Amino acid sequence: MVSADFHLPFDGNCLAFTIISTPDMFENAFIPYIRMRNTADMLDPINHCMKHYLNKLCMTLSRHSSSVEVIHDFDLQMPNRRPKVLAQTAAHVSGAAFYYKPDVISADRADGRAGGERSLAPLSPSTQPSPSLSSKLSHSPSGRRLLGYCIHPEFGGWFAIRAVLVLADLTADWMIQRSAKDVLPSVKQRIELLTAFNTNWHDWSAYRDVIAVTKRYSDLQIQYFQSSATDRRAILNTFIDCHKSD
């Protein structure tokens, strides 16, 4: 599914997990972390938060494995600064969320099979795209190539892929791979998702609510993520001040 540049240096049957954050992460993990740190003066507070909790998880798992490794979504290969892991591909392979990629959808429709991603379901003749729809799979109206996007079966787009956790010395060749759930069976739905994500990304509900979801980000969480770095620091300070006054 990915080029050799992004192959992870582990046994193909070793035990690994894709770590995602659900909509409750902000209130249940991030705000308590900021209050514990008692400071808003840090670069990338979310990244610091993820490192904190995943380091704690690694310490627990080290009782069972002597080789626990976490690859965060923000970790880069040097010196080329490529991501160490393709987070959306990892989510798809692990079955956590379905990765809708325009090139794969186009290829599958062209030859009438469900190909590259394996769990892209073939469409019935009645749902095959027209040529005009197919042309929209590769490029946005501005001519830029469309980026793919993951959809979770419960949270839609209201989640984030945070890391891959690998227990390198534990193999799990007995496990059956779980396929990602395809929640957008028609090409029209897939096109609408990718077009909204690529051309109207500031309207979060346009692509995150592409399916009925069980939970969304809170208004406070949306406000935080849509704010500038300066405004985010002010929001973090309110968390700290409120905690001091409790």
Q: How far apart are CA 55 and CA 60, in angstroms?
A: 9
Q: Summarize the confidence of residues 202-223 as an average pLDDT.
A: 95
Res 89: pLDDT = 94
CB atoms within 10 A of CB 136: 21
Average of per-residue pLDDT values in the chain: 83
More confident position, 124 or 37: 37
How would you label 34-73 residue by residue, b for 16+ Cβ within 10 Å and e otherwise?
A: bbebeebeeeebbeebbbebbeeeeeebeeebeebbbbbb
Helix (H, G, I), strand (E, B) or coil at 75: coil
The amino acid at residue 76 is L
Q: In the structure encoding, which two tokens stand for residue 155, read together?
A: 């949270």
Q: How far apart are CA 42 and CA 50, in angstroms?
A: 14
Percent of the chain with pLDDT over 90: 58
Residue 132 pLDDT more than 50? no
Res 106: pLDDT = 57
Residue 164 pLDDT more than 80? yes
Res 6: pLDDT = 73
What value, to the nearest 5°, has the Cα angle with vertex 121 and ends 117 and 125? 135
What is the sign of the dihedral through the CA atoms of 151, 154, 155 and 156? positive
What tens digit of pLDDT does each residue of 50-109 get? 999 999 999 999 999 999 999 999 999 888 888 999 999 999 999 999 999 987 565 444
The amino acid at residue 39 is T
Q: How far apart are CA 152 and CA 214, in angstroms?
A: 11
Residue 127 pLDDT more than 50? no
Picking from 88, 44, 52, the residue whose alpha carbon sits closest to that of residue 70 is 52
Percent of the chain with pLDDT over 70: 80
Res 20: pLDDT = 98
Res 141: pLDDT = 55
Residue 110 pLDDT more than 60? no
Residue 117 pLDDT more than 50? no
Burial class of 12 by CB neighbour count within 10 A (0 to 12, 13 to 18, 19+):
exposed
More confident position, 159 or 101: 159
Residue 114 pLDDT more than 70? no
CB atoms within 10 A of CB 195: 18
Res 139: pLDDT = 55
Residue 115 pLDDT more than 60? no
- Asked if 65 contacts 169 with a C-beta cutoff of 8 angstroms, the reply is yes
